[in-house]
Amino acid sequence: MTTRERYEELKNLLNEHSYKYYVLDDPDITDEQYDKLMRELTDIEKANPDYVTADSPSQKVGGVVLDGFETVTHTVPMQSLQDAFSFDELKDFDTRVRGVLGDRGEYCVEQKIDGLSVSLEYVNSVFTRGSTRGDGITGEDVTENLKTVKSIPLKLRVDVPYLEVRGEVFISKPDFAKINATREENGESTFANPRNAAAGSLRQLNSAVAAKRNLDIFVFNIQQIEGREISSHLEGLEFLRQCGFKVISNDKGFSTIEDAYAEIERIGSIRRDLYYDIDGAVIKVNELSHREELGTTAKTPRWAIAYKYPAEKQKTKVKDITVAVGRTGVLTPAAELEPVLIAGSTVSRATLHNIDFIRSKDIRIGDTVVIQKAGDIIPEVVEVVADERTGSEVEFNMPETCPDCGAKVHREEGEAAYRCTGVDCPAQAIRNIIHFVSRDAMDIEGLGPQIIEKLVENKLISNSADLYYMDRESLANLDKMGDKSADNILSALEKSKSNGMVRLLYALGIRHIGAGSSKLIAKRFGSINALFDATVEELSSIGDIGGIMAQSVVDFFAEPHTREFIDKLSHAGVSMEYIAEEGSDNRFEGKTFVLTGTLENYGRKEAGAIIEKFGGKVSGSVSKNTDYVLAGEAAGSKLKKATELGVAVISEQEFEDMIK
């Protein structure tokens, strides 16, 4: 078998296994076996890049970075549905349908997924374009992000010249909960429901981010088709299954609106147990010829209607409001509730997000509140029952010091979050240590996240400074460590002591202070100890160091914990002084670059590192303060703005001439 033949065989094998795993939920090989086949395929593609086609499973991993999304005009409008909230409204719908069709025809009933509606287009059975619904007429091209959805076939299992289908991209309940938990820990705003999460994921300009969100899809309609005649909705759904799509629907029709409503009630009874979120059920006329007779309005079809289930709500009492510290130092308040059964589970706690949320709803300790589950998953406080107040309720205020370490709590102007400023706060320990040892910080090889977690769990360290006091025997006795690995880590720690102030300052993880600003501050002050007496005015006088950054540095070094931490590092022999780079070349000092498009010889991160190495600054947006826009192939809106503002645009060749 030739390499090309093996490559085609691997593509077919992997696509078949993906179909069985993600669509049929019936895998016949292990994850390890699948990964082995995928590695073999990607190895062949690396050696033979001309082999790669649009239907290769490797195209699902993401990694494409866009400047923006192109506009797509839908040939077949992606209409919305009329909503119904009662059986009487469904009977009115049935009366209108029967007024045209009489006793002819039947209904289909299917679950209404709470996600984001998209169009998928296939030419000669290969996925060529995916777009959002937008306003129904115009959407956005999100092809690269949709390629990462593992349940979307890149090549259909049936030969068809052209096919456009409509589906609903969603995030499962477990994944939605994980995403929100991570965002809350990182001090980011949480998604209100699975639909918002799916929409936010599909609009990521970096498809690698979308790939991490575990997006899924159910396809529910044929928009356009060539080379095949379809006469009914149920026939179309069966064809979509044959194509390899994940389809959700009943396989039978209902002759009366009463029977259709009984199916809606059945779906409502099981919706809490589904792994995905639905907010209703949809009734559709089955026969496509009957749909043509019924027609559409400007916004909605006359042959379909969406029944919306009411959200379940319950009353309970707020026993207390507690505060937890996340891994990024964000303090998050939560309501401790009298336990209450809602949406199939007992709820005794609900996040209150931040102080602004608490104030906007006027939530007090002792209040009676109405709660529901956002997206039927995350408990949330909907409103306060003010009429049931007794006067004994207590207003809540955020603490002035961290409940975990006692350091000062700070809220920056314009932000909702309160943050702990403690350098050795135990709640942030693992994250802070991971940052401390990272490549751009102290660059300590051998200390990956898993090893750091073990060190903390085994109480060998509690903060970054403790790393320099570990003994060889305790380190070597860690699970899967050994003498050689312990020696390598201790050697890397010893080497890092001479890194100097620039790396150390960045390693401290001061909010708003990156690697570039650490270098500027280090050059100006000369030593870490000098920063204990630095003022906001002195720091702000440094170019590119703004008032917020300056205040952040001052606040950090004003904390007693910081002095203890720095002293511990100093006693271990870690250099606190600025070390000028030998033969340093600052040819780009004071210059700001913006990168756009695809460069032939450099990744964006690599080009940015070169610019910063020569003292320049890389920005993500073009403004009148931009000095150069480095434009590669397929440069987008940034190039256009640079031209409008008269900013110098340089090619990759010109950039290489500048860095020789």
Pairing of strands 648-650, 628-631: parallel
**Encoded tokens for 137:** 């007429």
Separation CA 173–CA 184 (nearest Å): 17
Separation CA 130–CA 144 (nearest Å): 8
Strand order, beta sheet including 83-84: 83-84, 304-308, 278-285, 107-113
At what angle are helices 31-47 and 3-18 packed, to 10 degrees? 140
Of residues 190, 206, 25, 221, the one with CA closest to residue 117: 221
**Encoded tokens for 507:** 């390693």
3-state secondary structure 417-462: CEEECCCCCHHHHHHHHHHHHCCCCCCCCCCCHHHHHHHHHCCCCC
Which residues are CB-neighbours of 502 under 8 A, at least 6 positions away? 515, 518, 519, 522, 578, 579
Q: Judge contact between 387 and 380, C-beta under 8 A.
A: no
112 is catalytic: yes
| Surface-to-core class of residue 341, CB atoms within 10 Å of its CB (0-12 exposed, 13-18 middle, 19+ buried) | exposed
Please identify which of the residues 60, 112, 155, 284 carries the catalytic annotation: 112
Which position has the token pair 């891994």? 327
Q: Judge contact between 330 and 184, C-beta under 8 A.
A: yes
Of residues 111, 120, 173, the one with CA closest to residue 145: 120
Q: Which residues pair with 649 in a beta bridge?
A: 629
| Surface-to-core class of residue 392, CB atoms within 10 Å of its CB (0-12 exposed, 13-18 middle, 19+ buried) | exposed
What DSSP string describes 233-276?
A: HHHHHHHHHHHT--B---SS-BSSHHHHHHHHHHHHHHGGGSSS
Separation CA 464–CA 467 (nearest Å): 6
Instruction: Show which residues are catalytic.
Output: 112
